[in-house]
Amino acid sequence: MQSQFDTPLYWNEEELQMIKGTNLLEGTEKIKQWLQNALSIICKMDETVELKDVVWAYTVFSSRAIGVNKNDNMKEYECDINSSNVVPSLVPFVDILNHHPDSKVKFLTDNESQSFSFELECSPVDGKELWNNYGAKTNEQFLLSYGFLQDPKFGSYWVQVAILEHDPLKLHKGKLLKDLKLCNRYYFTKTEIPADFFLVVQILLLDEIDYMFLPTTTHKNQFHISSTKNQLTTYATIIQLLQARLNRFTSPSTDEDKKQLLDPNISFKKRLALSYLIEQKEILQAVIANVKEMQTNFITQNCTNTHKMISYLHQNMDTQKLNSDGLLNKLHLSYSAGELLLNLNLKDGERNGPYGLEIAEEDIICVSNFLSEDSFLSIVLGHCADNEIQLEEDVVLSLILINEKRKKEKSKWFHFISALPETFQNALYYNDTHFDLLEKTSLAEIAMDIQGFITDQLFVVKSIQKQFPNLLPITFFTRESLKWAYTVSLVFGVDVKTTEGNKRCILPFLPGYNHLIAPILKNSSPNKFNYSTFLTDGKVVCNYEQKTNEDLLISHGIFVEKNPFDYLKIDFRKFLRSDKKLPDSIMSTHFFKCGSLSSQLVTSLENNHFALQSVLKVVQDLCQSVQDNISKAETLEDNISTLIKYYLQSQLLVLIDVEKKIKELKK
């Protein structure tokens, strides 16, 4: 037998470095470590054995072994070495035959004569080579075990994914993957992307809300996650994952690799390394392009708001006017899933696909645009850093806004700031009367938290004012001004991708009040809004993404009628005593929508009369409390009370439905 092979176990360091970042190198390193461990065991029996001997023996066996069936007598079988009946064996003479993917062969055993037979379906021809078939393997497997590559059409790239250790839904997701018979490793080719891989990533990315409303079937073909947010995030995550894998390769571009391959003096092993590397790069590039196309098609079919906005802009807006207002093609805005970058080039005319508006980087309100030497913000942030003072990013933006507002016409953003309302209707503007109306609701807790946060941040601002009274005049930097500015940052603030990384920014002339692009929420009656995309008063509307009414009331001070993303949240720990020995599955936060109870809650209540009665009592008490507060809200005439009334009415509808469903369980 030969003493040297062409498998990666026999490559030198330079040759291995050529495949840095590939799955092949990772697999090679694992085998080397395994062989090193095997050597330590073997040396206890024979100290003369060296690592090169173990590597040679392993390579001989892995490149020549044939699966021999130890049970079946003269029956054709597949060479599946994972079968308990098949024993990997060295078969003299047969193991010298080379591989051909089209060769049709049979393996047979005869237990009586203790013999193994190898048969070809075609008749041998004198002077022609006889071929074996090593089975359906990828090029990576052929290279690792045998030291050769087939045609690139046999190339593939595998990706393995797993549930994060700190994922609060880890156990639930693990069970779901098992029930659906989904694995964690998938192989991609240039033209094929496993459909199951998308489903696995969707499950891994589920949040607690999406998980509550999953289909109950465990039939993979019928299991569908309908959340648009989840699907968009899945596409973005897969693209990000594959791009990160592609970026791991340290070699030059694919074109440079191909040029090296043309060098007639290159060694055979380097030629193998380059050929494999080119194959892996091209597969990843093709898969990324395919997923991006799928992503674009999905958005085109499911996210039409941006299409309408762009169409209207081209038909009704003057490009020069847009550019003078700062709508230039310099900065990509994130859309929906966060990683999904969309852009609009106004000069090119309308193109296919969804796009987002672009604003010049110097025209956005972000920290980096205000950090010139000795600037207002540089001094404030420098003081905070020196004294270990923490200012939340939106609060820093709020200070910028207040400072720009006091500049009046001298501010670059004067027209934007002067057009903003002086007061809002979001949670920062709730008073004691409003909190009384929200008694026992989750909105009340969130609203109290955000008001408490502003109080804490104001205390920090006041400590800075003592050091720099001229920079932060007490007449301008007040609780009311901070409340106003922080609300503006909530309404207009977005996370934007720039050349310097992610930035928290305020984008003038994007979704807001009385601006170039208005909210998607149509005012059909005082303080009541319909969730739709439309054009009104010469303004274009756009999407605030998938937010519940609690989210919208907290940040924007608006309510969406028949909001499809809305739900009722009840933390039963706040209403039930823990010493009553209720199951942990009940003593937690639960989410409800009309028409359904979570399977977790149903399981906990069935055959547990005490638990059912306890939960039912909580729901009935909440129903009564909400009804009483709706009656109180109807006697009040301010806009915030009206919004709260709409919110309470939507919560009451779900509570009544939950009460009905629990009573049905009782029967």
More confident residue, 415 or 411: 411
Beta strands in 395-507 (DSSP E): 493-498, 501-506
Which pLDDT value is given to residue 319?
36
> Which residues are CB-neighbours of 263 under 8 A, at least 6 positions away?
none
pLDDT band at 509 (very low <50, low <70, confident <90, very high): low
Nearest to 492 by CA among 385, 365, 389: 365
| Amino acid in position 257 | D
pLDDT band at 346 (very low <50, low <70, confident <90, very high): very low
Given a cut of 80, whether residue 261 has pLDDT beyond it is yes
pTM here is: 0.51
Given a cut of 50, whether residue 535 has pLDDT beyond it is no
- How far apart CA 613 and CA 535 sit, in angstroms, is 50
More confident residue, 500 or 656: 656
Given a cut of 70, whether residue 200 has pLDDT beyond it is yes
The string of DSSP letters for 319-332 reads HHHHHHTT--TT-P
| Amino acid in position 544 | Y
- Region 625-649 average pLDDT: 91
> Which residues are CB-neighbours of 369 under 8 A, at least 6 positions away?
361, 362
| DSSP state at residue 501 | E
* Average pLDDT over all residues of the chain: 77
Which pLDDT value is given to residue 311?
41
Which pLDDT value is given to residue 530?
26
pLDDT single digits (tens) 379-388:
888 888 888 8
Given a cut of 70, whether residue 283 has pLDDT beyond it is yes
Q: Three-state SS for 505?
A: strand
- Region 68-81 average pLDDT: 56
- How far apart CA 225 and CA 203 sit, in angstroms, is 8
Question: CA of 4: how far to CAs of 30, 37, 57, in Å?
Answer: 20, 22, 11
pLDDT single digits (tens) 457-495:
999 889 888 888 888 888 888 999 999 999 888 877 777
- Region 333-347 average pLDDT: 27
pLDDT single digits (tens) 53-71:
999 999 888 888 877 776 6
pLDDT band at 360 (very low <50, low <70, confident <90, very high): low
CA angle 154, 159, 163 (to 5 degrees): 155
The lowest-confidence range among 102-106, 268-272, 276-280, 533-537 is 533-537
Which pLDDT value is given to residue 496?
64
Nearest to 19 by CA among 255, 272, 284: 272
- How far apart CA 322 and CA 344 sit, in angstroms, is 12
pLDDT single digits (tens) 113-160:
777 777 787 777 788 888 887 877 888 888 888 888 888 777 889 999
pLDDT band at 219 (very low <50, low <70, confident <90, very high): confident
pLDDT single digits (tens) 175-184:
999 999 999 8
| DSSP state at residue 596 | B
Nearest to 152 by CA among 254, 20, 50: 254
Structure tokens at 379: 């001094």
Contact 340, 232 (CB under 8 A): yes
Which pLDDT value is given to residue 497?
59
Which pLDDT value is given to residue 373?
65
Given a cut of 70, whether residue 615 has pLDDT beyond it is yes
Sequence-ordered alpha helix ranges (H) in 539-667: 549-555, 599-605, 609-634, 639-666
- How far apart CA 414 and CA 28 sit, in angstroms, is 62
Q: Three-state SS for 107?
A: strand
- How far apart CA 194 and CA 196 sit, in angstroms, is 5
pLDDT band at 652 (very low <50, low <70, confident <90, very high): very high
- How far apart CA 340 and CA 231 sit, in angstroms, is 12
More confident residue, 602 or 318: 602
- How far apart CA 58 and CA 249 sit, in angstroms, is 28
The lowest-confidence range among 109-123, 497-511, 594-608 is 497-511
- Where is 60: in which H helix or E strand? helix 51-64
- Region 86-96 average pLDDT: 78
Given a cut of 90, whether residue 529 has pLDDT beyond it is no
Beta strands in 46-198 (DSSP E): 66-69, 86-89, 98-99, 105-110, 115-120, 131-132, 157-160, 185-188
Which pLDDT value is given to residue 252?
73
φ/ψ (deg, to 5) at 353: 100, 160
Pairing outcome for strands 528-531 and 560-561: parallel
Nearest to 651 by CA among 588, 594, 587, 589: 594
